[in-house]
Amino acid sequence: MAEVMAGFVCGFALSIAATPIAAILIVRARVTSPLMRQIVPEGTSLIAVSVLLHTFFMLTMTAIGLLLGMLLTGLESSSPASGLGSPNRAFTAFVLIATAIAVLPLAVASAKLRMPFVIGGLIFVATFAWFMPYLASWSPIES
């Protein structure tokens, strides 16, 4: 249970951190992109964009966190060895590999968005692969 709660907390924290960054990038992108001008027309409030983005990020990141928490619970019982700077080596390796598979093709395909994809992937890995197992181990909730 502690692992699932840690996943939820990490996902929620990541959604709070990502919302203002994504909202500002979207509002700035409407200057150069005709598609973004249609999606977010001139005069659309940054707050309205932020509310929509936060709802989306909160639902997706907390769901990802809950799923990763369930995976961590399973891996804690079957493969509890520490390594890679984490209390659970198998979980950290899984998150690293899954994030690399998701982010690297996007970063290679888009030269303009390469750095945001790489930085976002690194923040995702730091939050879920390293911080989440430690947060679960610090919890007073019994697994």
Pick from 4, 141, 139: nearest CA to 70: 4
Tell me the per-residue pLDDT of 17-55, one tens digit each, with 9 for 90 and over: 999 999 988 888 888 888 888 988 888 888 998 999 999
Confidence of residue 143 (pLDDT cuts 50, 70, 90): low
Sign of CA dihedral 12, 14, 17, 19: negative
Phi, psi dihedral angles at 85 (to 5 degrees): 80, 20
Domain boundaries, the chain: 2-138
What pTM was estimated for this model as a whole? 0.86
- Count, residues in the chain: 143
- Listing DSSP states for 98-127 in one string gives HHHHHHHHHHHH-STTHHHHHHHHHHHHII
The answer to whether 18 touches 61, Cβ cutoff 8 Å, is yes
CA-wise closest residue to 6 among 132, 137, 134: 132
Contact 81, 93 (CB under 8 A): no
pLDDT in tens, 82-91: 877 888 899 9
